[in-house]
Structure 1
Amino acid sequence: MSKMILRASVALAALAPFPALAQDTGAQQATQVQQDDDVVGLNTIIVTAQRREETLQDAAIPINAIAGDQLVQAGVTDATALNKVAPALYVVAAGGANAGYFVRGVGNFSNNGYTNPAVAFNLDGVYIGRPSSTVASFLDVNRVEVLKGPQGTLYGRNATGGAVNVIPNIPRLGEFGAEVAAQYGSYDALELTGALNVPLADGLATRFAAAYSRNDGYYSDGTGSGEDLAFRAQVLAELTEDVTLRLSGDYSTQQGTGPGTNVQGVYAFTPFSPNATAGNFTFVPAPASVTAPFTGLFAPQTLDFIRNTAVGAPLYSPLTDYAYPFRDDSYWGINAELTADLGFAELTFIPAYRESRLDNQFNGPPFKGAVNQNVAEQTSFEARLTGDAGPVEWLVGGYYFDEHVEGLDSYNQFATVSFNDFATDTRSIAAFGRLVFSVTDDLRLVGGLRFTDERREIDAEVDTLAAVCLNRPTPGPPSCPLVPTIPVGLTVADSLGQLAPALFPVRSPFTGAPIVGSYPYGPIGPRGPYALVVVTPSDIERVAGDEEITYRAAVEYDVTPENLVYASFETGFRAGGFNLTFGQEEYAPEYIDAWTIGSKNNFFDNRLQLNLEGFYWKYEGQQLAALGVDGRGSNSFYTRNVGESTIKGAEIDFQALVTETTLLRGGVQYLDATYDSFAYNQIDLSAAGDPPNFLTPLTGCDFTQVLTPRRSFDIDCSGRPALNAPEWTVNLGVQQTLLLGGFELTGSVDGRYRSNRVVGFNYLPTSETGDDLTIDAAVTLRPDLGDWYVTAFVRNLTDEFVPAILQVGAGNVAAGSYEPPRRYGVRIGYDF
């Protein structure tokens, strides 16, 4: 009976899908249980976040980790689902291939060809400059590590908010094995995965992995669908007793529509209205048939509501003909890892090359349609030497990163369109080191230092098109209902070429000369043309660079062999960059100082693990990538330095083996993230002759009219909470294993609560989420000594309508994208 209880406990530990509990299944296999007759304990994961192998409980840094099989159990197949396994992490699926990463309110809503992410995404030890794809990343995963706070010494570029490390399973020498799994569920969701490990000779093995998944759209208009394919092949060779080489290559594609959009309502312009929702704008909520969960932008009732309620300034024509979204993106990469024991030190060398090709169309905030056609190529090299001399453990290394991105983008907001043709080059070189000095067997002092030298340049042509209504009845605003808005295209010629030539009765834009200047547009009335199309080109050629020294100082103390306390101070730096935005072409670096105190503890023969962390971060020149108004008055997505912020709080995570077959787990984070100084100036979009404070900015922040040297508004959002920063995040779960005559039945229930948070740019009432609680449940049956399993699951059991992004787009239409609804299904797997 004791052996059956022990086996049940092993299964229990292996299946627990929670970040505090993790298993490493590759060459770094950790002990699942502590065996002494019938004594069992919680498992331990081996992590390499500090460029050395150590247990998660011995890593004196703020980190969560979760093993690959637990990711599968929790339904984590891409980065957006990591939200449920690390309380500090928030991953947003933006339009097209864009994914935004936030740690404790620090991050980007999206990452395009010229933005710098605040949270570093690393795949197999390689920093990914454009983290738009996560399909191949989550193929045959060994573990995921989530590091919180600046990683200013050991990691590649710009890791001021934290880092996400995805580590795949590697080939196993001398071992043949394979695993396959099939999953089917609601929304016609199909997933097929497999991995094959083959020993080729003594000291030589290869591993192949593949995955295919698809699902119908979550929204009634068909959006929210996806179809993904991924492959990875690896070869591991022990060249000599002291030298090992591993080669890896992966390829993946992503198709479907990408995230869908649900409309909340419209902010209608109501000048001089003291009771307006925000400034001179009154929120007009959409009817219930439109706001119902997962209705979608392209539902007929949604399109009718927008057409009858919103108009697109400056053309003041109904908003029609939204472009339906699609994705057709591909990614591939090759990398190697060479390790050599040199006697006095161990050498690790990691060369890598990656390429992504994006071809997607999306609606975003919502726009009429945004189109991205980008190609990004990156090459990187990292070399490290590690060794020890008496009480000193040392590491020195060098890093080189070179990235080239070429892109054609257009962002169509019905009456204004930005067409971008750009090429960027970024080169980053760094040297880094770390010393760990053991004062005693229990007390260690840690110091780290990194020098970074980054150079970047951009060569871009930006064509801004504006359709301006000239027909202005008296009294009242302009009105051009008979003039169509601008079609979606990649270039000015693409868009205007879709219009009937009769719409340009005075001067045609297609004369063979560059399309520049003003063109009468639409019908000709008694007082002249109803509208103008104005095309304004801009050339942006910039070269810039930044140099910075960042460092870390820490102290670690083993109170007992099972209880660790630590304290650290670390600095971080994120380089500046460029925007394709008139008047906001460049932004400066940001800097962070971070204090951390923590404790990691095992109690009761490792039946209880309890980890505590307190943190205090200070940002200067903090960067925020958000939708705003450029110097010409057009909406634009760009990065700006918003000022200073303070981020402080505490996090607790635990797991407890209450009985040999009952596991409790949980995590709680309290977060106070506030912008201490967040102020900027925005051009006044009023027409000549309009009185002051007429066309006020659409914002929930304080603003003041400025009349000279030109009319504008000073906007002050100081004191507001950081974006994607809930005050409370609580994860709780329970898992129970039952022994049923040769079978093990394991059931788990996990819940996640997040308090209200701001997930829109302008602090409007519609940008707040409210509280939400989601619950996942699963039941797994497997034979006591067998190799197969069957899992039935339900995710988002309560069918919560959880916002991911809530923002205002063209025509002041308020809309958002949402986390997936309730889904259920069955997964069958077999290992051999």
Structure 2
Amino acid sequence: MFKSYLRATAALVILTPIGAHAQDMPAPQSSSEEQEAEAGLNTIIVTAQRREETLQDAAIPINAVSGEELVQSGVNDATALNKVAPALYVVAAGGANAGYFVRGVGNFSNNGYTNPAVAFNLDGVYIGRPSSTVASFLDVNRVEVLKGPQGTLYGRNATGGAVNVIPNIPRLGQFGGEFAAQYGNYDALQLTGALNVPLADGLATRFAAAYSRNDGYYSDGTESTEDLAFRGQILAELSDDVTLRLSGDYSTQQGSGRGLNVQGVYSFTPFSPNATAGNFTFVPAPANVTEPFTGLFAPQTLDFIRNTAVGAPLYSPLTDYAYPFRDDSYWGINAELSADLGFAELTFIPAYRKSVLDNGFNGAPFKGALNDNVAEQTSFEARLTGDVGPVEWLVGGYYFDESVEGRDSYNQFATVSFNEFQTDTRSLAAFGRLVFSVTDDFRLVGGLRYTDERREIDARVDNLAAVCLNRPSAFGPPSCPLVPTIPVGLTVADSLGQLDPALFRARPVFTGGPIVGTYPYGPIGPRGPYALIIVTPTDIERTSGDDEITYRLAAEYDVTPDNLVYASFETGFRAGGFNITFGQEEYAPEYIDAWTIGSKNEFFDNRLQLNLEGFYWDYRGQQLAALGVDGRGNNSFYTRNVGESTILGAEMDFQALVTDTTLVRGGVQYLDATYDSFTYNQVDLSAAGDPPNFLTPLTGCDFTQVLTPRRSFDIDCSGRPALNAPKWTVNLGVQQTVLLGGFELTGSVDGRYRSNRVAGFNYLPTSETGDDLTIDAAITLRPDLGDWYVTAFVRNLTDEFVPTLLQVGAGNVAAGGYEPPRRYGVRVGYEF
């Protein structure tokens, strides 16, 4: 099957040569080339292969977008990159968490001790915490999205791909800048500016700043933001052969953070063969709750949850959700030293980054989750590049050292996980790449990387469970409507200290040593206390590591100077790690092998660029970070290895200059991503006297009751589609320019279609998104010889309700996060 698939795709490659979907950053050209380029399309310059080349000449699977196009598309942070790279899917989870997927490879969410599958690189520096990537889009030159494993040239754990954000750098001998102000609905204000100043011959500096805010998109005020960012750079030509650039940046993110819309509740209905999933029947929320962007904190939503859902094991109404907030900051310094050594070019990049997270959120939905984390990383990368005869070579080394110290709590009303941890990770790598020109038109490529990672964790988790003992009848669930659920706090003492002391017959000691044990809780009935509070600690202190060799083999052939075909095989590896979860303390590495064939071409004097890529990925030991149940039956968020998947498909993108003033652009991706094996085991949460298959797991997958050695369920999701992997993704846009006697009027319309995809962990009916179509439009007026412009825009013109993350949380409440609703506004800019 695979061979026939490759043969069919190869035929398409040969018959349909391909180009790039990007513009606005032309390569240096001679005067004759400039005259030709005026009638054709510009091509962006990329450095994805650690060398400057046009996107048309980069024989790798890549999308690239200029900073100007990002502004026009409204891409202010990584979560909006879905618009410009069909293979990429970015999920904004709770707090500062962001999940990255490329063709079904990725994580829904990350925390201080998980690792992303898609490497995020800012100004050539790998960012270890995905939470540190959201505020990076300041004075951007371009963004490159690399698809598939990056097993040779890139830092850590790039099994799914890489996102490279490259800022504008200082320009020697030029004084100039740009400023822009934007205002729109939801009281959305954005101010941006950049200033380039030459200080002396061979010395220049560049400053950039941005401020943005908006009111909440949801009726309850959530999804509000207030962000601030600065960057300063100095570029110095120390000699004819040596250049040094220094950069420092600082950014903050505040506001309420992510909002949620409630879909309904999965109600426990034991021994119901016609239930929605296992022994759970879905109760949809009324229309005034599911109305788009109503929000979790709307009065009608809170009423629905209070009257419909209860949280085991306390079986008390779900009330008093904690309102979300954000107060996160990030800063970093880095340098880039470039030196011509005669026999080779040296590049050296040292960097230091720090993120401080202080936020609260409700996503899954929780009663409230709190993050108080500090992450620091130091990295060094050195590369030597040169050529000897027909061989172009590159060798390099990489060092990464990260420490994360944090306190988290995840409150699900009746169960709370309080985590305190410190992790340290050190990664060393050596890598090399050879390009051998067999002829002027045919090249063979080989790349190799050795990675050695060592990691350690010192953590404590206190699991708190409030358990109802009041059972009204001999058969059926308990009921404790008069016993309050646990307040939201960062520690056990914080939470229990908020409760009325009268609720405890033997009150825990809230100062001094750890709070551990079992405490009577709530009213006292004829048979004793209505409930118990049980605090169970788990200490985790472990050291581990992985080492791996990954490699790339490729062939490139220039059919003509404007037509390139290529084929490659590349391996990828993501290291294992730790969980702060009893019985799931460690997880193993994952691996991916990727076959790719593709072509990039220009036609009709570069008035048409087309691109086709065929791919086949073999994904093994897949790491999935998701909510689950630990070995003691407590709810926990942890990573597990769930199995294997096969990912294959094809992608085409194009842009065509139909007339000198009409540009048509677009792309199509077909993706078939299926789990060949996806199995895991979950503890049975039934009480001791309950019959088998009573409290079955809430999942849309198949499951089997296991009775020995401990009652549990084997869950099998094999054959299901990969997460966040729509079968079809289609982008199509048109840009038209009209000359109006001294003025230039440019209008654009861009649409994006995505077919149904799974955006939740457990394959429940509520975890499917359905298909969606969104449309953006803009019109810009600027004088022919002037340096100002005015743009009016509307995004999500049809006001589509587009899910990004659909989960089931405490009390089996199903809810989701969504892309922004219709937004419109005006942007005014001045360039000098």
Where on the TM-score scale, by shorter chain, does this alignment land: which range?
Answer: over 0.9
What percentage of residue pairs aligned between the two structures are identical?
88
Equivalent in the alignment of 1:487: 487
Q: Secondary structure at the match of 1:132?
A: helix
Equivalent in the alignment of 1:789: 789
1:812 counterpart letter in structure 2: N
- More displaced stretch, 34-43 vs 703-712: 34-43
Equivalent in the alignment of 1:314: 313
1:303-452 equivalences in 2 (<5 Å):
303-452=302-451
CA distance in 1, matches of 2:121, 2:32: 30
Equivalent in the alignment of 1:622: 622
Equivalent in the alignment of 2:148: 149
1:256-655 equivalences in 2 (<5 Å):
256-474=255-473, 475-510=475-510, 512-655=512-655
Following superposition, the deviation at residue 29 of structure 1 comes to: 5.8
Residues 512 and 669 (structure 1 numbering): CA distance in 2 closer, same or farther, change over 3 Å? same
Q: Can you list the C-alpha shifts for 1:705-755, whole angstroms capped at 9, x where unaligned?
A: 011111100000000001000000000001100000000000000000000
Q: Can you list the C-alpha shifts for 1:671-717, whole angstroms capped at 9, x where unaligned?
A: 00111000011000000110110000000000000111111000000
Following superposition, the deviation at residue 136 of structure 1 comes to: 4.3
2:22 counterpart letter in structure 1: L
Equivalent in the alignment of 2:202: 203
Following superposition, the deviation at residue 116 of structure 1 comes to: 0.5
Residues 511 and 391 (structure 1 numbering): CA distance in 2 closer, same or farther, change over 3 Å? closer
1:7-46 equivalences in 2 (<5 Å):
20-24=21-25, 35-36=34-35, 40-46=39-45
CA distance in 1, matches of 2:380, 2:650: 36
Residues 19 and 302 (structure 1 numbering): CA distance in 2 closer, same or farther, change over 3 Å? farther
Following superposition, the deviation at residue 21 of structure 1 comes to: 1.8
CA distance in 1, matches of 2:37, 2:433: 42
1:658-677 equivalences in 2 (<5 Å):
658-677=658-677
CA distance in 1, matches of 2:663, 2:356: 44
Following superposition, the deviation at residue 630 of structure 1 comes to: 1.2
Contact 1:34 1:40 in 2 (8 A): no
Following superposition, the deviation at residue 800 of structure 1 comes to: 0.2
Following superposition, the deviation at residue 617 of structure 1 comes to: 0.2
Following superposition, the deviation at residue 247 of structure 1 comes to: 0.1
Q: Secondary structure at the match of 2:100?
A: strand
Equivalent in the alignment of 1:801: 801
Residues 63 and 32 (structure 1 numbering): CA distance in 2 closer, same or farther, change over 3 Å? farther
Residues 19 and 637 (structure 1 numbering): CA distance in 2 closer, same or farther, change over 3 Å? farther
1:219 counterpart letter in structure 2: Y
Contact 2:413 2:485 in 1 (8 A): yes
Contact 2:583 2:630 in 1 (8 A): yes
Following superposition, the deviation at residue 39 of structure 1 comes to: 6.2
Q: Secondary structure at the match of 1:483?
A: coil
CA distance in 2, matches of 1:362, 1:30: 51
Following superposition, the deviation at residue 509 of structure 1 comes to: 4.0
Contact 1:337 1:351 in 2 (8 A): yes
CA distance in 1, matches of 2:222, 2:33: 49
Contact 1:31 1:43 in 2 (8 A): no
CA distance in 2, matches of 1:33, 1:45: 19
Equivalent in the alignment of 2:230: 231
Following superposition, the deviation at residue 582 of structure 1 comes to: 1.1
1:375 counterpart letter in structure 2: V
1:799 counterpart letter in structure 2: D
CA distance in 2, matches of 1:512, 1:48: 56
Contact 2:493 2:511 in 1 (8 A): no
Residues 486 and 725 (structure 1 numbering): CA distance in 2 closer, same or farther, change over 3 Å? same
Following superposition, the deviation at residue 443 of structure 1 comes to: 0.2
Contact 1:33 1:42 in 2 (8 A): no
Q: Secondary structure at the match of 2:317?
A: coil
Contact 2:20 2:655 in 1 (8 A): no
1:92 counterpart letter in structure 2: V
Q: Secondary structure at the match of 1:495?
A: helix
Following superposition, the deviation at residue 32 of structure 1 comes to: 12
Contact 2:306 2:317 in 1 (8 A): yes
Contact 2:20 2:55 in 1 (8 A): no
1:716 counterpart letter in structure 2: D
Q: Secondary structure at the match of 1:544?
A: strand
Contact 1:749 1:775 in 2 (8 A): yes
Q: Secondary structure at the match of 1:137?
A: coil
2:739 counterpart letter in structure 1: L
- 1:745 and 2:745 matched: yes
Residues 476 and 102 (structure 1 numbering): CA distance in 2 closer, same or farther, change over 3 Å? same
Q: Can you list the C-alpha shifts for 1:501-545, whole angstroms capped at 9, x where unaligned?
A: 100023444475531110000000000000000000110001000
Equivalent in the alignment of 1:8: none
Equivalent in the alignment of 1:222: 221
Following superposition, the deviation at residue 178 of structure 1 comes to: 1.1
Residues 39 and 460 (structure 1 numbering): CA distance in 2 closer, same or farther, change over 3 Å? closer
1:82-97 equivalences in 2 (<5 Å):
82-97=81-96
1:20 counterpart letter in structure 2: H
CA distance in 2, matches of 1:204, 1:38: 31
Contact 1:19 1:86 in 2 (8 A): no
1:670-819 equivalences in 2 (<5 Å):
670-819=670-819
Q: Secondary structure at the match of 1:405?
A: strand
- More displaced stretch, 129-138 vs 558-567: 129-138
CA distance in 1, matches of 2:138, 2:37: 36
Following superposition, the deviation at residue 52 of structure 1 comes to: 0.4
Q: Can you list the C-alpha shifts for 1:389-439, whole angstroms capped at 9, x where unaligned?
A: 000000000000000000000000000000000000000000000000000
2:603 counterpart letter in structure 1: F
Equivalent in the alignment of 1:79: 78
Equivalent in the alignment of 1:12: none
Contact 1:424 1:456 in 2 (8 A): yes
Q: Secondary structure at the match of 2:316?
A: coil
2:231 counterpart letter in structure 1: R
Equivalent in the alignment of 2:13: none
CA distance in 2, matches of 1:270, 1:634: 21
Count of aligned pairs: 813
Residues 590 and 486 (structure 1 numbering): CA distance in 2 closer, same or farther, change over 3 Å? same
Q: Secondary structure at the match of 1:133?
A: helix
CA distance in 2, matches of 1:489, 1:548: 41
Q: Secondary structure at the match of 2:551?
A: strand
- More displaced stretch, 122-131 vs 501-510: 501-510
Residues 93 and 31 (structure 1 numbering): CA distance in 2 closer, same or farther, change over 3 Å? farther
Following superposition, the deviation at residue 262 of structure 1 comes to: 0.3
Residues 677 and 30 (structure 1 numbering): CA distance in 2 closer, same or farther, change over 3 Å? farther
| Structure 1 residues without counterparts, runs of 5 or longer | 1-17
CA distance in 2, matches of 1:302, 1:136: 31
Residues 732 and 517 (structure 1 numbering): CA distance in 2 closer, same or farther, change over 3 Å? same
2:339 counterpart letter in structure 1: A
CA distance in 1, matches of 2:159, 2:450: 15
2:809 counterpart letter in structure 1: G
Residues 209 and 512 (structure 1 numbering): CA distance in 2 closer, same or farther, change over 3 Å? closer
CA distance in 1, matches of 2:510, 2:220: 37
CA distance in 2, matches of 1:118, 1:33: 44
2:265 counterpart letter in structure 1: V
